[in-house]
Chains A and B, each alone.
Chain A
Amino acid sequence: MPPPPPPPGPPPPPGIGVNLIGHHDWLNSFGNWGDFAIGEALRDPTVVSALKVVQQASSTTERIAALDSLMGQIG
């Protein structure tokens, strides 16, 4: 089966979730009733910024704090 076409819009930053673009899941939550689409998430500058902070964290404590902020953007 050929891979699904990429979603419309600008490409995501290199090195982040490239293999997953176009993949959608159907996860509901208490806080976010809508669907989560990684392609859309990676086009959100707030999410991309939060991801960079996670990846650049120099300690586990910093990373947990950065991830907590990222979770707020995606869930």
Chain B
Amino acid sequence: MNTHTSFPYDIAIVGLGMSGVHQMTREVEATIRRSRHLFVTDVANGVIDHLRALCPRITDLTKHHATSSHRVLLYRKMASEVVAAAMDAAPVCFASYGHPKMYCYPSTLIQRAAELLNLRTVLLPGISSLDTLLTDLGIDPGADGLQVYEASDALIRQRPLQADVGCVIYQVPIVLEADNRIPGQHSRDRLRRFQDYLLKFYPAEHVALFVTTKTHPLLETITQRIAIRHLADRLLINSTMGSLYIPPVEHRAVFEQELAERMTLREHVSKPPARRADRPAVGPKPPR
């Protein structure tokens, strides 16, 4: 095994952000520059070309994206290549679009195999699809909270959804699809099952937002407003991936009234603080 002892890791697992290379952090860029071999899974325009200027050796892992294969098999191939390279000549870097621990199973496989083989790993964050979703929609989970699920997982487990909490659901267009599919080919039945699941918690006319965030600074994020009762039909003709945000149906009522009043802003600032008569007032002047 040819590990590089001057680096604190053998495999760096990093995120590139969502919008081409424009969201790449300096930390990630510096790590890529130090790597002997970079493995990339990002199909955004210009990413590979940009990364070629940072690392002498690059492997585009999206070549593994054969259709009609179970996704886990593709992820195993990706992880195997990265770990094998680290055993040959560390440090290497695995870079995924978005965040490396946000629905990125190869990262998990790499970590597991590295632990078994005594390889050192480091994880570096990237701007995730959740980050861009918050800015694309201008929402702040501080107000109503946020629940985040993967579509198939939510459906299989019948996870209870709180209708008074904002809800993000990922991978709705490929719900219950294990294979890597041809873009645009969805199953109406699977989508309908997911829609029926949502209708257990939300009114049929409640509007959800399907967001396809921009993957290049010159593109625009696309946001579609879809009533939940139309979700299956609308996503059936949607050829792109995206994230579903379901706004809360209502704000949750206050249960502990006394505690809520303790947190309420008091208008005590209206009374000016005492000061000596001969001392000039400082701070903003009252309006004339």
A: residues with CB less than 8 A from B are 16-17, 19-20, 23, 25, 27, 29-31, 36, 38, 41-42, 47, 51, 54-55, 60, 63-65, 67-68, 70-72, 74-75
**Cβ-neighbour of A75 out of B81, B85, B109 (below 8 A):** B109
Pairs of residues from A and B, 8 with the lowest C-beta to C-beta distance, nearest first: A67-B80, A71-B76, A31-B72, A63-B84, A68-B80, A64-B84, A27-B108, A75-B109
Pair B112/A74 contact, Cβ less than 8 Å: yes
22 contacts between A and B (CB under 8 A): A19-B118, A20-B118, A27-B111, A27-B112, A31-B72, A41-B112, A42-B116, A47-B116, A51-B116, A55-B117, A60-B88, A63-B84, A63-B87, A63-B88, A64-B81, A65-B80, A67-B79, A67-B84, A71-B76, A74-B109, A75-B72, A75-B75
Pair B105/A75 contact, Cβ less than 8 Å: yes
Query: Known contacts A60-B88, A67-B84, A74-B112; is A51 also within 8 Å of B117 by CB?
Result: yes
Within B20-69, which residues are at the interface with A (CB < 8 Å)?
A: none
Apart from A72-B76, A75-B109, 13 more pairs, CB < 8 Å? A16-B117, A20-B118, A30-B105, A36-B112, A38-B115, A41-B116, A47-B116, A54-B117, A60-B85, A67-B80, A71-B76, A71-B80, A75-B112
Instruction: Assess whether B122 is interfacial by the CB under 8 Å rule.
Output: no
Instruction: Assess whether B71 is interfacial by the CB under 8 Å rule.
Output: yes
Task: Give the docked Cα–Cα distance between A51 and B77 (Å).
Answer: 16
Task: Give the docked Cα–Cα distance between A31 and B112 (Å).
Answer: 14
Instruction: Assess whether B148 is interfacial by the CB under 8 Å rule.
Output: no
Chain B residues with CB under 8 A of A75: 72, 75-76, 79, 105, 108-109, 112
Interface of B is mostly: helix
Tell me the minimal C-beta distance from B109 to chain A in angstroms: 5
Instruction: Assess whether B83 is interfacial by the CB under 8 Å rule.
Output: yes
Instruction: Assess whether B178 is interfacial by the CB under 8 Å rule.
Output: yes
Task: Give the docked Cα–Cα distance between A27 and B113 (Å).
Answer: 13
Within B153-199, which residues are at the interface with A (CB < 8 Å)?
A: 178
How many contacts A-B (CB < 8 Å)? Answer: 78
Chain A residues with CB under 8 A of B87: 54, 63
Chain B residues with CB under 8 A of A23: 115
Residue of B nearest to A62 (CB): B84
Interface of A is mostly: helix
Task: Give the docked Cα–Cα distance between A16 and B75 (Å).
Answer: 24
**Cβ-neighbour of B178 out of A30, A65, A68, A71 (below 8 A):** A30
Task: Give the docked Cα–Cα distance between A1 and B146 (Å).
Answer: 35
Task: Give the docked Cα–Cα distance between A23 and B256 (Å).
Answer: 40
Task: Give the docked Cα–Cα distance between A19 and B72 (Å).
Answer: 28
Chain B residues with CB under 8 A of A17: 115-118
Pair A29/B77 contact, Cβ less than 8 Å: no
Chain B residues with CB under 8 A of A65: 80
Tell me the minimal C-beta distance from B96 to chain A in angstroms: 15
Task: Give the docked Cα–Cα distance between A4 and B242 (Å).
Answer: 42
Pair A68/B77 contact, Cβ less than 8 Å: yes
Task: Give the docked Cα–Cα distance between A18 and B111 (Å).
Answer: 16
Residue of B nearest to A63 (CB): B84
Tell me the minimal C-beta distance from B53 to chain A in angstroms: 25
Query: Known contacts A29-B105, A30-B71, A30-B105; is A74 also within 8 Å of B84 by CB?
Result: no
Tell me the minimal C-beta distance from A50 to chain B in angstroms: 9
